[in-house]
Homo-oligomer: A and B are copies of this chain.
Amino acid sequence: MAETRKLKAGIIGATGYTGIELVRLLVGHPDVEIALLTSRSYAGQPFSKVFPSFSGIVDLELSGNDHIHSRVEDIDVLFLALPHGLSAKMLQEISYRSRVVIDLGADFRLKNKLDYEVWYDLQHPFPKALKEAVYGLPERHREQIKKAKLIANPGCYATASELALLPLASAGLLQGPIVDAKSGVSGAGRSVNLDTLYNEVNENLKAYKVAGHRHTPEIEQELSEAAGQPIKITFTPHLIPMQRGILVTAYCPVPDGHNLDSVMALYKDFYEKEPFVRVLDIESAQTRFVRGSNYCDIALKEDTRTGRLIVTSALDNLIKGAAGQAIQNMNLACNLDERAGLAPVPQFL
């Protein structure tokens, strides 16, 4: 970017947890300025009035979502942080090919329109755009992302699950894994809901959407494509009384002819040049080791008694699982340093 003008970024839906995190990270990005923030609920108020933590930092007034076409006219990068169904509708209202659009929702993640309609129980509002959309997992689709105009930012669970299993899948060594996933509550978003009240969540453990979570087909799509054959997974998410962080514990057979060392070598090799994936020699990935950062950490263990591999992966669901990965994608699509604006150091505490 050098000394040229900064890119103008806009965020549609800036007052959800993902939106706030996008704002926070973009403030620190050297090549971008925030030019548009929208919100249905808070339109007309300064962003810093809604979130006093931004006082003196982001005092920009929130716009509404109407007349969106003209609002985004001079926006170079547009982030959509909307519920599924709404992103695709919004996209129809703007000429998305004249800028980079990154959708943090689910509308463009599944290549197969029928999968979308089955899992989301909704007719796809804008199927035409599906084939132009690139799935924004840089570790798999970096070259396509660089050329993309429409990027489907992966789901938080999906990112953690795919990164945990891609090295095996890509080597043709993955058999029907079980993915037991645990997430902090921020993944559930900021909409007002009995189920995410403090007293309903704190000091509680539960599984939810057992065998029916919408990130399942997304994970299968990416693993299958990497494997060159269909991979089916059992996926069980759990809600954990904490704010940020996802831990995935994935189980699959140790591939024939392999052991922990050889699989570990495979993983280290696969992620060797990745700026944001670390394969660590520790017993388990831990969410606190990645908190506040764009890293996804991976650890491996073998259960020699049963011949199973146990892969743990951890990420911050709001960063590598959402806003951070979106910025990584923006950096790639806009020809910026892939790491720009992505604070390097996790917060231990």
Where the two chains meet, the residues of A that have a C-beta atom closer than 8 Å to any C-beta of B are 17, 20-21, 24, 27-28, 51-57, 176, 178, 180, 182, 184-186, 190, 192-194, 196-211, 232-234, 236, 238, 240-247, 249, 251, 278, 280, 282-293, 297, 301-306, 308, 310, 312, 314, 318, 343-349
In whole Å, how far is A174's beta carbon from the nearest beta carbon of chain B? 14
A198 — which chain B residues lie within 8 A by C-beta?
185, 196-198, 200-202, 241, 243
On whether the beta carbons of A344 and B197 are closer than 8 Å, the reply is: no
On whether the beta carbons of B207 and A284 are closer than 8 Å, the reply is: yes
A292 — which chain B residues lie within 8 A by C-beta?
292, 347
Known: A52-B280, A207-B249. 19 other contacts (CB 8 A): A17-B199, A17-B349, A27-B345, A54-B345, A55-B280, A57-B344, A178-B308, A182-B205, A186-B349, A196-B199, A197-B198, A198-B198, A202-B242, A203-B287, A203-B291, A204-B242, A204-B288, A210-B303, A241-B242
A241 — which chain B residues lie within 8 A by C-beta?
198, 240-242
A205 — which chain B residues lie within 8 A by C-beta?
182, 184, 240, 242, 245-247, 286-287, 314
Question: A297–B249 Cα gap in the complex (Å)?
Answer: 23
In whole Å, how far is A230's beta carbon from the nearest beta carbon of chain B? 11
Question: A338–B74 Cα gap in the complex (Å)?
Answer: 35
With A249-B236, A344-B57, A345-B28 known to touch, is A283 a contact of B199 (CB < 8 Å)?
no
On whether the beta carbons of B243 and A284 are closer than 8 Å, the reply is: no
Question: A310–B32 Cα gap in the complex (Å)?
Answer: 40
In whole Å, how far is A100's beta carbon from the nearest beta carbon of chain B? 23
Which single residue of chain B is at the shortest CB-CB distance from A204?
B288
Question: A208–B310 Cα gap in the complex (Å)?
Answer: 11
A180 — which chain B residues lie within 8 A by C-beta?
180, 249, 251
In whole Å, how far is A53's beta carbon from the nearest beta carbon of chain B? 4
18 inter-chain pairs at a CB distance below 8 angstroms, sorted by A residue, are A17-B199, A51-B348, A53-B291, A55-B280, A182-B182, A182-B240, A192-B192, A197-B197, A198-B201, A199-B243, A203-B242, A205-B242, A205-B314, A206-B286, A207-B284, A232-B305, A234-B306, A240-B241
CB contact between A207 and one of B20, B305, B312, B343 (< 8 Å): that residue:
B312
CB contact between A310 and one of B182, B193, B234 (< 8 Å): that residue:
B234
CB contact between A210 and one of B202, B203, B301 (< 8 Å): that residue:
B301
- For the complex of A and B, list the 5 residue pairs with the smallest distance between their C-beta atoms, beginning with the closest: A211-B303, A207-B284, A53-B289, A205-B247, A53-B346
Question: A193–B303 Cα gap in the complex (Å)?
Answer: 27
Which single residue of chain B is at the shortest CB-CB distance from A302?
B211
